[in-house]
Structure 1
């Protein structure tokens, strides 16, 4: 009797498992196509004094881009960069404008 119960239980479990079998669909992924993208954006927020822009493009293993931002001293920092697997990351930083620094005064006696 015990063998019959085990046999019926195993058959029921196998039939339930077979009914809920899902088919997995695998998509072909091309690992050899050169990646290519480009983007650019700019932010000009006068309330929070946030002014910057950025653009970048990539074709294959080479990335090229530049960004600029307004530094607190009043200058504009422009960074132009390139990166690839042979030369690594290279950047050229340029500043435009004249830096203005606030004067500091002593408020105590020596």
Structure 2
């Protein structure tokens, strides 16, 4: 007996429903390029999604799932990864930091700590 039958004493059986959907997003300004399709016959779900990765490749995931064997996915990639050329600034400050032109300090690392914390503490305060 199904859930509704247990609660309401109904003899009806719930049958799996089939469905199908899909959508695409392509936004040149943000670089978002995404596509998804999925369908089900009521017992097995099948689908695929594609996403444009930041390195220029397209990741494609094809999947199917059912109640007996669970979720199965095949992941593959199209295209070749492209990475930007690194920029160097003569190791000044790290993280590709360029000091402002009116900067008069040093970028040669840690120069010491002029702040000296107190080693004596007062009595605890209660609120």
Q: TM-score, normalised by structure 1?
A: 0.66
Rg bigger for which structure?
1
In structure 1, the partner of 2:17 is 35
Task: List gaps (5 residues or longer) in structure 2.
Answer: 1-9, 93-127
Query: Which one has the bigger helix percentage?
Result: 1
CA deviation digits over 1:31-65, x for unaligned, max 9? 42221100011111111111110000012231100
Q: TM-score, normalised by structure 2?
A: 0.58
Q: Deviation above 6 Å: which 4+ runs of structure 1? A: none
Task: List gaps (5 residues or longer) in structure 1.
Answer: 1-27
Query: Which one has the bigger strand percentage?
Result: 1
In structure 2, the partner of 1:89 is 71
Q: 2:81 aligns with which of 91, 95, 99?
A: 99
Q: Which has the higher contact order (CA 8 A, sep 6+)?
A: 1
Aligned-pair RMSD on alpha carbons?
2.0
Give the total of aligned pairs.
82
Residues in 1 aligned to 2:27 and 2:87: alpha-carbon distance in whole angstroms: 31
